[in-house]
Amino acid sequence: MFELPLGDKAWLRPLEPWHAQEFLEHMDRARPYVDPWIPWATFSTDLASATATLQRYADQQAKDNRRICGIWLDGTLVGGVMFTSFDAATGVCEVGCWLEEGGAGRGLVTRACRVLIDWAFGQRGMSRVEWWVASGNTRSVEAARRLGMTRDGVLRKRHPYRGERHDTEIWSVLAEEWAGAAPARGTVASGVDVATGVEGPAAAKAELDRLMGVFLGAFTNTGGAHPDLEVVRELFIPQGVIISNAGQDPVVYDLDAFIAPRQRMLTDGTLTEFSEWEVSERTEILGSIAHRSSEYRKSGFLEGDRFEGSGRKTTQFVRTSAGWRMSSMAWVDA
In this structure, the answer to whether residues 169 and 25 fall within a common structural domain is yes
Q: Tens digit of pLDDT for each residue in 271-319?
A: 999 988 888 889 999 989 999 999 999 999 999 999 999 999 999 999 9
- Span 130-181, pLDDT tens digits: 999 988 787 788 888 878 888 888 898 887 877 788 788 999 999 988 854 4
Containing domain of residue 317, as a range? Answer: 201-333
Mark whether 156 and 50 lie in a shared domain: yes
Q: How far apart are CA 52 and CA 210, in angstroms?
A: 33
Residue 269 falls inside a structural domain: yes
**Residue at which a domain ends, from 111, 142, 177:** 177
Inform me whether the pLDDT recorded for 1 exceeds 70: no
Judge if 206 and 172 occupy the same domain. no
Say if residue 33 is in the same domain as residue 133.
Answer: yes
Total domains in the chain come to 2
Q: Is there a single domain that holds both residue 209 and residue 167?
A: no
Q: In the sheet that 4-7 helps form, which strands lie side by side, from edge to edge?
A: 4-7, 10-14, 67-73, 76-87, 92-99, 128-134, 164-174, 150-161
Residue that terminates a domain, selected from 110, 144, 177: 177
Are 275 and 143 members of one domain? no
User: Does any domain span residue 194?
Assistant: no
Asked whether residue 185 is assigned to any structural domain, the reply reads: no
Q: How far apart are CA 10 and CA 79, in angstroms?
A: 11
The CATH number assigned to the domain holding 273 equals: 3.10.450.50
pLDDT digits (tens, 9 = 90+) for 231-248: 899 999 999 999 999 888
Q: Considering only residues 33 and 37, tell me which one the structure prediction assigns the higher pLDDT.
A: 33
Q: 254 lies in a domain?
A: yes
Domain closes at, from 121, 145, 177: 177
Say if 23 falls within a structural domain. yes
Task: For residues 164 and 64, state if they share a domain.
Answer: yes
Asked if the structure places residue 188 within a domain, the reply is no
Contacts of 123 (CB under 8 A, 6+ apart): none
Express each pLDDT in 94-128 by its tens digit: 999 999 988 887 788 888 998 999 999 988 999 99
Task: Name residue 296's amino acid.
Answer: Y
Indicate whether 229 and 296 sit together in one domain.
Answer: yes
Same domain (yes/no): 172, 218: no
237 within 8 A of 288, measured Cβ to Cβ: no
In a domain, 189, yes or no: no
Same domain, 168 and 255: no
Contact (CB, 8 A) for 116 and 83: yes
Indicate whether 158 and 215 sit together in one domain: no
Residues 282 and 211 in one domain: yes
136, part of any domain: yes
pLDDT at position 184 over 60: no
